[in-house]
Amino acid sequence: MAPKSPFYFNNVAKMLLVCAFLVQSPFVIGAPAENLIASAQKVSEGFITLSWKDLGDGSVTLQVGRDREFDQVMRSLQLTGQDQVHLSGFEDGVYFARLLSDTGASLSNTVRFDVEHRSLRSASLLFSIGAALFGSLVVTLFRFTRSDS
């Protein structure tokens, strides 16, 4: 069998590199780039920061919905000159977000984030401890100040 020419190895190496790039790259043909990022996947305070890149300073529409198909759009925000937005006040639930152009074309991937607030029981416990501690401080200071004067 004749030895392979250097040209042959060169082409194989190039093909392998292209394959590796296609596997690694988020820019898969037919799907929008992975350019929309959520600051967290699980949120327990009801607020989140969504950021994006490579979209310039133009206007974009950020849609937030309750399902991946965006049949139920909860918020549709026109944003200009921003590359991130901080949203707050979400109730418990699963949310999806994506970016659209002015013409409605998709500009980003869809991100999912889950909002699950902390339990009211543990919050009430901390509230009660705080109230008791504050009451003790006020009473202590009042008594000390009275005895001082």
List residues near another protein by CB under 8 A.
44-47, 49, 57, 62, 74-75, 77-91, 117-120, 122-124, 126-127, 129-131, 133-134, 136-138, 140-141, 144-145, 147-148
Q: What is the CA radius of gyration of the chain?
A: 27
First-to-final CA distance of the chain? 108
Instruction: Give the Cα separation of 38 and 84 in Å (integer).
Output: 10
- Widest pairwise Cα distance in the chain: 108
**From the CB of 47, what's the least distance to another protein, in Å?**
5
Judged by beta carbon, residue 33 or residue 74, the one nearer another protein is 74
Number of residues that this document lists for the chain: 149
**From the CB of 32, what's the least distance to another protein, in Å?**
21
Judged by beta carbon, residue 17 or residue 133, the one nearer another protein is 133
Report the run of H or E that residue 14 belongs to, with start and end: helix 6-24
Judged by beta carbon, residue 94 or residue 133, the one nearer another protein is 133
**From the CB of 104, what's the least distance to another protein, in Å?**
19
**From the CB of 100, what's the least distance to another protein, in Å?**
15
Instruction: Give the Cα separation of 76 and 62 in Å (integer).
Output: 6
